[in-house]
Structure 1
Amino acid sequence: MISLILCVFEIDESFFVLIACCKLNRIHFLGCEVSGLARTVSDHIPLLLKSQPERVSNPPFRFETWWCEVDNIDEVVNSSWNAAAGGLRGARRVVFKLQRLKRVLQEWSTRECARQKEKKEALSTIIQSWDRAKEANAVTMDDRAQRMKAKEDRGDILKLKEIEWRQRSKALWLKVGDNNT
């Protein structure tokens, strides 16, 4: 909740003329509560504006480019889209399927991000242990091959993160604009 205290002079006709000239009467404070506070020694009347807590809305659906790089995305989309639509027809059927696909993709993305994070941490731990074994000269050819495979897998995961952040930085640049020009 945000509270703001304003001090105004005696409210008379000139105050309302000032408000109208500044076009402040067009500002609507939805959900705000205005109350006058006790007058102090001066000739000002403190006003208290109390706003309602900000409502957190659901963020809009955004397609993530990195989804295309994951192997099982086709199965997720096809199974969601081809599932029964509850007897709906026409545009309602399409809207229902799109909403369901949105929900399924968001849930899948959350699970996939968690899975990739766990896999990346496990691969990093394995690579570090092999690096320590290499320093002790206790590495066989099989260990080297497994280490290279683990580094390759970790690189694939890092590539997906890079694609994700590149998309987000581009979206931010398009939203804010190029401040360098």
Structure 2
Amino acid sequence: MWLLSDRFKELVRAWWIGYSVVGSTSHCLVEKLKSLKRDLRKWKKEVFGNVYAKKAEALSRIQFWDSKERLNPLSSKEAEARLGDLEEYKKCVLMEETFWRQKSRETWLKEGDKNTKFFHKMANARARKNLLSKVNINGNPLTSAEDIKDGVCRA
């Protein structure tokens, strides 16, 4: 989600270069990571804040402009403001979607390989997708596993 923000990589690079730590390589790495963590937390609060609240605010502003437009046409300045609010809403929706996609992957990494019903469904689906039930070699259809093995080896 943070990568969607403008200049994020440059900001992190500037922070990283700006940290001056003396000591062994591993000590420097640990201290720089701690400092980066603090700066990222502060930056996240300043830049993103509460994405859900921002999304709700943008949606209410869009609804305001829509209700105003039903009564009278919007001026060019008001139409620009509405478009800006619409862009803000789209940005918030994209960040929220990215957050949940990353969260689901994190859950899969933590719990996906446990002996769960979900894991077995995923594994079986993958096995079904990778199964060759029939192969045509030189116009000769082969269906049994042994015939397919022999036919592929001969071809």
Under a length normalisation based on structure 2, what TM-score does the superposition of the two structures give? 0.61
State the alpha-carbon separation in 2 of the partners of residues 174 and 72 from structure 1: 29
What is aligned with 2:35? 100
Q: 1:153 aligns with which of 79, 82, 88?
A: 88
SS at 1:71 equivalent: coil
**Which consecutive segments of 4 or more residues in structure 1 shift more than 6 A?**
none
Under a length normalisation based on structure 1, what TM-score does the superposition of the two structures give? 0.54
Matching residue's letter, 1:179: K
- Aligned-pair CA distance for 1:158: 1.2
**Identical positions, percent:** 27
After superposition, residues 19-168 of structure 1 pair within 5 angstroms as: 66-114=1-49, 116=51, 119-168=54-103
State the alpha-carbon separation in 2 of the partners of residues 83 and 76 from structure 1: 10
Matching residue's letter, 1:153: E
Superposition CA RMSD, Å: 2.4
Q: Does the 8 Å contact 2:51/2:96 carry over to 1?
A: no
State the alpha-carbon separation in 2 of the partners of residues 94 and 138 from structure 1: 58
The structure in which a higher percent of residues are helix is 2
SS at 2:48 equivalent: helix
State the alpha-carbon separation in 2 of the partners of residues 115 and 100 from structure 1: 23
Report the more deviating stretch, 159-168 or 131-140: 131-140
Q: In the alignment, does 2:104 pair up with 1:169?
A: yes
State the alpha-carbon separation in 1 of the partners of residues 2 and 71 from structure 2: 40
Q: Does the 8 Å contact 1:81/1:97 carry over to 2?
A: yes
Q: Does the 8 Å contact 1:116/1:157 carry over to 2?
A: yes
Residue-by-residue CA offset, 1:111-152 (whole Å, 9 max, x unaligned)? 333165564344223212111111212423443343233212
Runs of 5+ unmatched residues, structure 1: 1-65
If asked which structure has higher relative contact order (CA below 8 Å, sep 6+), I would say 1
Q: Does the 8 Å contact 2:51/2:95 carry over to 1?
A: no
What is aligned with 2:117? 179
